[in-house]
Amino acid sequence: MIQAIGLTSIPRKEQRPALDNVSFEAHAGRVTALLGAPGAGKTTALRLMLELQRGRGITYFAGRPLHRIPHPAHEVGVVLGDVPGHPARTVRGHLRMLCAASGVPARRADEVLEAVGLVSLRDERLGTLSRGMDRRLGLACALLPDPHTLVLDDPARGLAAGERRWLYDMLREHAAQGGTVLCSTADPKEAARIADHVVTLDDGRLVADQRAADFARTRLRPRVAVRSPHAARLSALLAQQARSTQRSVEVVQEGGNRLCVYGSSCAEVGETAFRHGIVVHQLADEVGDMGPGAGADTQPAVAPEPRPAAESAPRPDSDTAPRPDPDTSPQSDAGTAPQPDAEIAPQPASDPDLAPDLRPEPAAPAPDPQPEPAAPAPSTNPDESTPPEPPRTTPENDAPKATPPHRPTARPAPVTLPPPVRVRPAPTPLRPVRYEIRRATGVATGFVVGACVLVVSALTALLLARIGHTPQPRLLAAWPVQVPLPPAALGAGLLGALAFGDEFRHPALAADRGTVPRRLGLLTAKLFVATLTALALAVLTVGCTAEVLYLVYGSELVAVPAEWPALTAGWLALVTGCAWAGVLAAGVFRSTTAGLAAVVAVPLLVVPAVREITEGPAVRNPEPFAGRLWGGLPLRRIFGGEQHLEGLLRLLAQPVGGAMALSVLALLCAYAFTGLRGRVR
């Protein structure tokens, strides 16, 4: 169950808030539609409920706000727009990455793919999926951790009729199994067709909160759509017939050869056209919208609406009118005019909520179509000649009562949800590491960056060797004196800056705002994977440049230097520090560009500042900073490896090393501060 209380967005300056004090409930076992025109505040309401946007108010999911749920992805499945995954990631790889993030077995990805019908496309890239397949994948991502609640923002936008029907059948099935479904839509007919409860927003305010049957009765008005080359003549005949019979029938000519007839039925319009020899190209039931605020404020104005109470039976059928439109096009003949009424009985199968409430209302036209659906019922048991007789003579209301059992079988292709997750594995330290490995290796970006770094390093080393006057350590690292950082350090920083992209884009991960992006375990996993990647890149760079120099210039340029332990430690620390700076900066600023900028800012801005502090004219002691640091260390004789500690202090005393350590420490403090602020908020 969802309880939204006082949702209010923060306005910009003098503007009014996009959402103003909205409260509603979505019960378990029902589909609740959040209805409103574009700009009414539907998306803002969902983002406030999911704590993805700052504002006032609170939302309870099963009695707890989202930030108080230990594993929000197991409680709430989210679909907000298109799937925001990397276009080069495969469908199966994307789901397996989310499996690792949610802590469910990897085989769950295959189960969900089979349920949504994407097994044949599991190796396709996300960037190649069509709109319908993308929406199926979004629903698969929401169903992956087996949540109790589904929150979807206009999930059927841009879908074909078949895909739309399949999607709503899946939502209906989830609600039938006891789940809670909340989806937004801008189409009132769609809301009346799919939902048990409709919450209407208009200009950021709640204007109606009612059952689907009451919503359809107060806001939707049934009508008959007619297309004929003699529309003006047919309009005059219908108006004349309505005056002669003293019936309230309204005929509206919408332009061209289209008419909309309110207060009549397809059978009556078809018979009138047949008697006067008028050709009809289209004859179908439709529903007209009465405006955004009709659900709550226009009930007195809709008082004349019950007068065509006999037409309330086609109302649920008119919601499904887009499907029988092709079948109604040949119904221009009078002989086929009663056929649309005969289809009313099976049609409400897709409207299980409106049909039971609205069908008992009709009294006049109901007996006309009902003998036809009632006739097949006795014909199903022709062997028993005596039992069929009592049902025909007994109350004819048995026909509408018999339709609800036939509703599930009327669906053309029953949908099946993925099986529930029986056992949820306990949180382990390897879970965030597993997720980070799948995230980093799921796309070819890391491998492309590594290959580019090796190629650029080899070419730079050859160029430096040809020019000469380059120290051997810088030659092996492909680090010219004029460049602030070597290619390996820049590549490691770029890979680190790419580490936090998915967490801030994907709603399945952003829903865990207080635990996933700011969780210490995830940060540790990212730093661990970034360290391994940086070390591998540093070793491969030196090995590649040494091999290239040996093949071109011989062994004289690749001799092992005398101080190789200190040089190796400094090289590995530099590359790892750049990777850590990229990870932390991307996590703090939520931007890959900011992460890479932080890496480049270390040699350009921080190093000159550190050099000015440690070696500037204000420093009166002529002893080097490393010697002063070592001499001022208390209890230095306790350390057994004084030589290694002295080398480490000498490394930190260098401008680049000290600047990198200072930058990483500052970013760690900023990350901790933003994480604590997010938890307190």
pLDDT tens-place string over residues 371-400: 343 333 333 333 333 333 333 333 333 333
pLDDT exceeds 70 at position 179? yes
Q: Are 197 and 341 in contact (CB under 8 A)?
A: no
Q: In this structure, is residue 394 part of a structural domain?
A: yes
So what's the pLDDT on residue 611?
A: 66
Q: In this structure, is residue 550 part of a structural domain?
A: yes
Average pLDDT over residues 533-541: 94
**Rg over CA atoms, the chain:** 35
pLDDT tens readout for residues 559-569: 887 778 888 88
Q: In this structure, is residue 516 part of a structural domain?
A: yes
Average pLDDT over residues 274-302: 65
Q: Which of 187, 215, 243 is the last residue of a domain?
A: 215
Side chain identity, residue 412: P
Band (657; pLDDT cuts 50, 70, 90): low
Band (351; pLDDT cuts 50, 70, 90): very low
Between CA 663 and CA 603 the distance in angstroms is 10
**What are 563's two structure tokens?**
């101080």
Q: In this structure, is residue 415 part of a structural domain?
A: no
**Which is higher by pLDDT, 83 or 648?**
83
Please enumerate in sequence order all residues whose Cβ is within 8 A of that of 595, keeping only pairs 6 or more positions apart, or say none. Answer: 493, 496, 497, 498, 500, 581, 582, 583, 584, 585, 586, 589
Average pLDDT over residues 163-169: 92
Pairing of the two strands 180-185 and 31-35? parallel
Lowest mean pLDDT among 37-51, 626-640, 643-657: 626-640
**Which is higher by pLDDT, 581 or 84?**
581
pLDDT exceeds 50 at position 586? yes
Lowest mean pLDDT among 65-74, 280-289, 311-320, 436-445: 311-320
Side chain identity, residue 112: V
| H/E stretch holding 356 | helix 354-358
Between CA 44 and CA 206 the distance in angstroms is 13
So what's the pLDDT on residue 426?
A: 54
Between CA 640 and CA 105 the distance in angstroms is 47
Q: In this structure, is residue 421 part of a structural domain?
A: no
Q: In this structure, is residue 420 part of a structural domain?
A: no
Percent of the chain with pLDDT over 70: 70
Between CA 627 and CA 646 the distance in angstroms is 9
Burial environment of residue 89 by CB neighbours within 10 A (0 to 12, 13 to 18, 19 or more)? buried
pLDDT tens readout for residues 226-263: 999 999 899 999 988 888 888 888 888 877 789 888 88
364 and 400 assigned to the same domain: yes
- Model-level pTM? 0.69
Average pLDDT over residues 32-36: 94
Which domain range does residue 494 map to?
A: 430-680
Burial environment of residue 256 by CB neighbours within 10 A (0 to 12, 13 to 18, 19 or more)? exposed
**Which is higher by pLDDT, 668 or 545?**
545
**Which is higher by pLDDT, 676 or 597?**
597
So what's the pLDDT on residue 469?
A: 82
Lowest mean pLDDT among 227-241, 297-311, 478-492: 297-311
For 645-672, give the DSSP string: HHHHHHHHHSHHHHHHHHHHHHHHHHHH
151 and 17 assigned to the same domain: yes
Q: Are 418 and 143 in contact (CB under 8 A)?
A: yes
3-state secondary structure of 19: coil
Phi first, then psi: give them for residue 253, nearest 5 degrees: -95, 115
255 and 302 assigned to the same domain: yes
- The sheet carrying 180-185 orders its strands as 76-80, 149-153, 180-185, 31-35, 197-202, 205-211
Within 13 A of 239's CA, how many CA atoms are on the CB side?
12
Between CA 271 and CA 238 the distance in angstroms is 11
Average pLDDT over residues 298-313: 32
For the four alpha carbons of 288, 291, 294 and 298, in that order, the dihedral sign comes to negative
Within 13 A of 257's CA, how many CA atoms are on the CB side?
10
Mean pLDDT of the chain: 75
Phi-psi region of 21 (alpha: psi -120 to 50; beta: other; left: phi over 0): left
So what's the pLDDT on residue 67?
A: 82
3-state secondary structure of 7: strand
For 469-494, give the DSSP string: ---HHHHHHT--TTSSS-HHHHHHHH
435 and 346 assigned to the same domain: no
So what's the pLDDT on residue 453?
A: 95
Own/partner long-range contacts of 396-399 (Cβ < 8 Å, ≥24 apart): 396/367, 396/370, 396/371, 398/374, 399/345, 399/370, 399/373, 399/374
Q: Which of 215, 247, 275 is the last residue of a domain?
A: 215
Residues facing residue 206 across a β-bridge: 201
pLDDT exceeds 90 at position 340? no
So what's the pLDDT on residue 166?
A: 92
pLDDT tens readout for residues 8-18: 999 887 788 88
484 and 365 assigned to the same domain: no
191 and 251 assigned to the same domain: no
The CB density around residue 669, as the number of other CB atoms within 10 Å, is 12
CATH number of the domain residue 41 falls in = 3.40.50.300
Give the Cα-Cα-Cα angle 256, 259, 264 (nearest 5 degrees): 175
3-state secondary structure of 9: strand
Q: Are 258 and 280 in contact (CB under 8 A)?
A: no
Domain count within the chain: 3
pLDDT exceeds 50 at position 49? yes
**Which one, of 652, 534, 541, 655, lies nearest residue 603 by Cα?**
655
Q: In this structure, is residue 417 part of a structural domain?
A: no
pLDDT tens readout for residues 82-121: 777 888 999 999 999 888 888 888 899 999 999 999 999 9
**Which one of 175-189, 418-432, 496-510, 562-576 scores highest in mean pLDDT?**
175-189
Band (401; pLDDT cuts 50, 70, 90): very low
pLDDT exceeds 70 at position 624? no
Band (509; pLDDT cuts 50, 70, 90): low
| H/E stretch holding 625 | helix 625-631
Q: Which of 192, 215, 238 is the last residue of a domain?
A: 215
Between CA 271 and CA 267 the distance in angstroms is 6
617 and 630 assigned to the same domain: yes
So what's the pLDDT on residue 597?
A: 87
191 and 135 assigned to the same domain: yes
**What are 130's two structure tokens?**
């069509």
224 and 200 assigned to the same domain: no
pLDDT exceeds 70 at position 441? yes
434 and 405 assigned to the same domain: no
So what's the pLDDT on residue 205?
A: 92
599 and 671 assigned to the same domain: yes
357 and 283 assigned to the same domain: yes
Within 13 A of 608's CA, how many CA atoms are on the CB side?
5
Q: In this structure, is residue 309 part of a structural domain?
A: yes
Percent of the chain with pLDDT over 90: 31
Q: Could you tell me the CA-to-CA distances from 274 to 141, 234, 267, 332, 337 in Å, in that order?
A: 53, 10, 10, 8, 9
Q: Are 480 and 526 in contact (CB under 8 A)?
A: no
**Which one, of 613, 602, 543, 604, lies nearest residue 573 by Cα?**
602
